[in-house]
Amino acid sequence: MTLDRFDRFHGLLLLLVAGGLVLLLAVAESGGGRSAAGVDKAMEQALDYQARVAFVQKLYGPVEDLRRDGQLQQALLKLDELERRYPGEAHGYILRGEILGEMGVLAEAVASYVAALRLNGDYVDARSPLSRQTEIRQLVDDGLRILGGQARSHPENLSLAAAVKNVHYLQSRLAGGCE
């Protein structure tokens, strides 16, 4: 391939622009240009998440207080009230699941955890400050043993079958994988 004057000129220009780009990036790096760019999406995302966690903990604080005092019915009523104001918030379903679990209503507790995880997978993630991985694992063990046993003895019972399906969903989420 022979290069004429036109090719050589543009080739030289290409090298100059590439050199300029490298120089620009090097100068920006050493002069703190990286932070001056103001685009740090990971930082923004982390800040948003921290703010959300703090907001959720503050919002559901009264429910936690009622629960600690053993006033489980009042806590459930308070959750109903919050659910009307924030219908897409998963944390309420987690708390409802925990309270129902304490009350011994296993199938409903499982259903509430399922509703929460469908809205937000953080609760099954060990890295999240909201993680409920241990509780969900315990619930799955109990669910498979108790609800699974009942469903086997009463195969005609559709609500038991639905409850077992919910347990399997939680089991699958615990197993990980892409989402």
Partner 1 sequence: MNLRDCHLWIVIAAGAFLGALGVLLAVWGNPENSGICVSCFIENSAGALGFHENARMQYLRPELIGFVLGAAACAAGFREFRSRGGSAPLPRLVSGIFLMVGCAVFIGCPIKLFLRFTAGDLTAVAGVLGLVAGVWAGLKGLGGGVHLGSSREEGRGSGFLVPGFFLLLLVLFIARPGFLIFSGRGSAAQHAPWLLALGGGALLGALAQRSRFCITGGVRDTLLLGRRSPLLWGLLAFVAAATALNLATGRFHLGLYGQPGAHLDHLWSFLGMALVGWISVLIGGCPFRQLIKAGEGDADAGLVVVGMFIGGALVQSWGIAATAAGVSLVGKAAVLAGCLFVLGATLLFRERAPA
Interaction of residue 161 with partner 1, rule CB under 8 A: no
Nearer to partner 1, 72 or 119 (CB): 119
H or E stretch at 37: none
Q: Considering only the stretches 3-11, 96-104, 118-126, 151-159, report the one whose residues sit in contact with partner 1 under the rule CB under 8 A.
A: 118-126
**Exposure string over 150-167, b if 16+ CB within 10 A, otherwise e:** ebeeeeeeeebeebbebb
Q: Which is nearer to partner 1, 104 or 179 (CB)?
A: 179
Nearer to partner 1, 135 or 137 (CB): 137
How far apart CA 2 and CA 7 sit, in angstroms, is 9
Compute the distance between CA of residue 139 and CA of residue 167 in angstroms, rounded to an integer: 8
1 binds partner 1 per the rule CB under 8 A: no
CB 86 within 8 A of CB 77: no
40 lines the binding site for partner 1 (CB under 8 A):
yes
- Single out the residue of 49, 62, 64, 108 in contact with partner 1 (rule: CB under 8 A): 49
Euclidean distance between CA atoms 163 and 42, whole angstroms: 38
Site string for partner 1, 65-104 (x = CB under 8 A): ----------------------------------------
- Contact in structure between 16 and 10 (CB atoms under 8 Å): no
Determine if 121 is a binding residue for partner 1 (CB under 8 A): yes
Q: Which tokens in the block code for residue 79?
A: 């959750």
| Residues in contact with partner 1 by the rule CB under 8 A | 34, 37-43, 45-46, 49, 114, 118, 121-122, 125, 127-128, 165, 168-169, 171-179
